[in-house]
A = this chain, B = another copy of it.
Amino acid sequence: MPSALLPASAIPPPHEAHLLARYRHIRAATETLAADLSDADATVQSMEDASPAKWHLAHTAWFFEEFVLAARLPGYAPYDERFRYLFNSYYEAVGARHPRPRRGLLTRPTLDEVLAYREAVDDAMTALLATAQTDAEAALIELGLHHEQQHQELLLTDILHLFAQNPLRPAYAHELAAAVVADPRPAPEWIAFEGGVASIGHAGDDFAFDCEGPRHSVLLVPYQLCSHPVSNQQWCEFIDDGGYQSAGLWLSDGWRWVGEQDVQAPLYWEERDGAWWQMSLRGMHPVDPDSPVTHISFYEAEAFARWAGRRLPTEAEWEHAAQKLPATGNFAESHALRPLPDRQNTSGVLRQMFGDVWEWTGSAYLPYPGFRPQAGAVGEYNGKFMSGQMVLRGGSCVTPESHIRASYRNFFYPHQRWQFTGLRLADDL
């Protein structure tokens, strides 16, 4: 059985439960993820796109301090005035900040000092949560918790990237066993969907990021989706067929990227004695043919689809298809590294839509009709990134389960692939 990164008891109460309980659960989960990291592991920044684990730990505390505690308690004294500068990520409206490419130079504060900072923020938040909240306050705290969950995923993707740079290829968690796939993976099937006017986007009282709405109508032409994400086995066929050497399969930007970066396989794949191995959170191991391919760029996803004679789904197609499925991640509120076998083997329907890999869509990350960013500094959360990025859907094996939903719009630049990114084929009917 694939092991979860968190004990079952760590499953947070549902959204409607007491906010304090959820706060405690989610905050503790972040620290659990960092529990086995050394001070050095938590400090080094392996590339500009990634951040140190320590920075994730501190920044998520800063978020509550800056947007909740300071706003709610006008006389609130920051834990350390200098942390406002060090741990702001990109909020222009709240002042200057430490430059992103230099996050890895902060050997001080130490990991222990950052954990103490988190504890102090938790104490203040606990006191605050013991009192009544306005709706606006509760919404900000909820935002902070989802923000925290995003950084849980980033902490893991960034640690994997760091460890993959080390010639020793250390494992983040050795005990993460591979999924036991009892039966052979069922053959992929095509699932058809009717066209017409459909509704996508978030509506209702549950939490969603501002960019997930407003809910609106879209016009769909009849389409079909593949039952499974593309597997490593399929990807090997693409490689063997010269996919990375065939200019005609690639977008112009993608072909240049392939040439400049000398890309020949998914990120973290290495050829050893004629076989493909993969670096993952459990260290180096042979590529599992049945698992969804992951750590591919949009360019690769797009080229693969062309090679297969298919295309990527639009985000509207994906969401429309996903709306009737339970948004169940791989593990109860956990960060697992492999799909659950029982979910994989269910037949006849869309499988592995949630919690396996983020699936690249063919849609650019742009505002929905009528979109207005949230007021205040947190309005920078999503809206200002609506250029140059592509939408991904579904959630990955390191996405917290309670963070997954059909309307969720993840977004990355087309060349980025250190996230757990994969694809599912689509086609016209």
Contacts and interface: CB of A to CB of B under 8 A. Distances in A.
A332 B197 CA distance: 43
B384 A251 contact: yes
Contacts of A266: none
Contact of A107 (B44, B217, B380, B385): B44
A181 interface: no
Interface in A91-119: 92-93, 98, 102, 104-111
A391 B363 CA distance: 14
Interface residues of A, number: 64
A105 B388 CA distance: 29
A216 B218 CA distance: 13
A223 to B, nearest CB: 9
Given A251-B384, A251-B387, A384-B251, A170 B108 contact: yes
Contacts of A102: 165
Given A40-B111, A105-B44, A105-B162, A253 B168 contact: no
A414 B28 CA distance: 41
A92 B249 CA distance: 11
Contacts of A363: 366
Most B-side CB within 10 Å, residue of A39, A90, A218: A39
B251 A107 contact: no
A123 interface: no
A299 interface: yes
Contacts of A40: 38-40, 42-44, 54, 107, 110-111
Contacts of A251: 384-387
Contact of A92 (B85, B108, B162, B248): B248
A7 B115 CA distance: 35
A175 interface: no
Contacts of A184: none
Most B-side CB within 10 Å, residue of A106, A109, A254, A388: A388
B42 A165 contact: no
B43 A166 contact: no
A78 to B, nearest CB: 15
Interface in A263-282: none
A387 B298 contact: yes
A255 interface: yes
Nearest to A106: B166
A14 interface: no
A374 interface: no
A218 B219 contact: yes
A90 B167 contact: no
10 contacts: A40-B42, A40-B111, A105-B165, A106-B166, A108-B168, A219-B219, A221-B369, A248-B380, A252-B387, A364-B366
Interface of A: 38-44, 46, 54, 82, 85-86, 90, 92-93, 98, 102, 104-111, 162-163, 165-168, 170, 197, 216-219, 221, 247-248, 250-255, 298-299, 302, 362-364, 366-367, 369-370, 380, 384-388, 414, 428
Given A86-B167, A108-B166, A364-B366, 17 more contacts: A40-B110, A40-B111, A41-B107, A93-B247, A107-B170, A221-B369, A221-B370, A251-B387, A253-B385, A253-B387, A299-B387, A302-B387, A362-B367, A363-B366, A369-B428, A387-B414, A388-B414
